[in-house]
Amino acid sequence: MTLAQRAFVWLQYLLPQSLLTRCIGAFARRRIPWLTPFVIRRFIAAYGVDMAEAVDPDPAAYPTFNAFFTRPLRAGARPLAPPPALLCPCDGTVSAAGALDGQKLLQAKGVLYSASDLLGDSELAEHYTGGTFATIYLAPRDYHRVHMPATGALERMAYQPGRLFSVNPATVAGRPGLFARNERVVASFRGLGTTFAMVLVGAMIVGGIRTPWAGRVTPRSGEPWQIRNAAEITCERGAEMGRFELGSTVILLFPAGCVTLAEDLHPGRRVRMGEAIGTVHADVR
What gap in Å lies between CA 46 and CA 38, rounded to an integer?
12
Among 32, 29, 42, 35, residue whose Cα is nearest residue 207: 29
Residues with catalytic function: 91, 147, 248
Rg (alpha carbons) of the chain, rounded to whole number:
18
What is the C-alpha to C-alpha distance for residues 203 and 186, in angstroms, rounded to an integer? 15
CA distance 78 to 164: 30
Name the residue among 199, 205, 184, 191 with its Cα closest to residue 250: 199
Output the CA–CA distances (angstroms, integers) from residue 71 to 105, 166, 284, in the order listed: 32, 23, 28
The secondary structure of the chain in percent helix, strand, coil, rounded to multiples of 5, reads 25, 35, 45
β-pairing verdict for 152-160 and 234-235: antiparallel
